């Protein structure tokens, strides 16, 4: 298994819809294993293939939950069915997200409290479970990556402006920027 570099906001693969996986083979399972290794090295709760430069509809997760779902898994070609997203402003203490591709930053975002997650594992076997609370947030966050969205694209105006100001300050928004989990300092201080 190999730790892969994580792409940073501005890399084109992060900003376009990923393509469906059509072949479930050893190459796919190697990518999945590398994604798990990268997610672990980055102390992440999830990692989508576009975050490692691969425009495929795959994400891995590692999040202890009480939803009768695995604490660690992979979703290939996932589909999410969501409860309604509350219309209230996000709580700046309770609803804060971060992203390995927008490293070191945190902003509040309102998400659905419930998600039905369907897709396939790395062998093409069906996966179907319900996620609630923060686990549902993780599923939505990773799924968004597959549609070319980062959580900062969903922020309300005042937080979106702060995020874009920080991105400019960090020199992001251009292709070719990455960071290497386990080599570069952990941007989230784990």
Catalytic residues, by residue number, are 142
List CB contacts of 30: < 8 A, sequence separation 6 or more.
none
- Whether residue 190 is annotated as binding a ligand: the answer is no
Tell whether residue 123 is among the known ligand binding residues. Answer: no
Who's near 84: CB < 8 A, 6+ residues apart?
Answer: 112
Per DSSP, the three-state class of 4 is coil
The enclosing H or E element of 33 equals helix 26-41
List residues bridging with 18 in a β-sheet: none
The binding site for Fe cation comprises 99, 141, 145
Annotated binding site: 99, 141, 145
């Amino acid at each position: 298994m190999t730790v892969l570099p994580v792409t940073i906001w501005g890399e084109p693969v992060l900003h376009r819809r990923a393509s469906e996986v059509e072949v479930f083979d050893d190459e796919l399972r190697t990518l999945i294993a590398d994604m798990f290794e990268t997610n672990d090295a980055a102390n992440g709760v999830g990692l989508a293939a576009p975050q490692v430069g691969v425009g495929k509809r795959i994400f891995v997760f590692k999040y202890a939950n009480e939803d009768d779902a695995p604490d660690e898994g992979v979703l290939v070609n996932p589909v999410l069915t969501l409860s309604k997203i509350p219309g209230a402003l996000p709580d700046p203490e309770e609803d804060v997200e971060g992203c390995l591709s927008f490293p070191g930053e945190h902003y509040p975002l309102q998400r659905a409290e419930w998600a039905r997650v369907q897709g396939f594992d790395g062998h093409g076997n069906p996966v179907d479970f319900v996620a609630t609370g923060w686990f549902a947030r993780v599923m939505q966050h990773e799924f968004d990556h597959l549609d070319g969205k980062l959580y900062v694209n969903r922020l309300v105006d005042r937080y979106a402006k702060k995020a874009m100001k920080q991105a400019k300050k960090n020199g992001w928004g251009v292709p070719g920027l990455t960071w290497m989990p386990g080599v570069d300092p952990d941007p989230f201080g784990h």
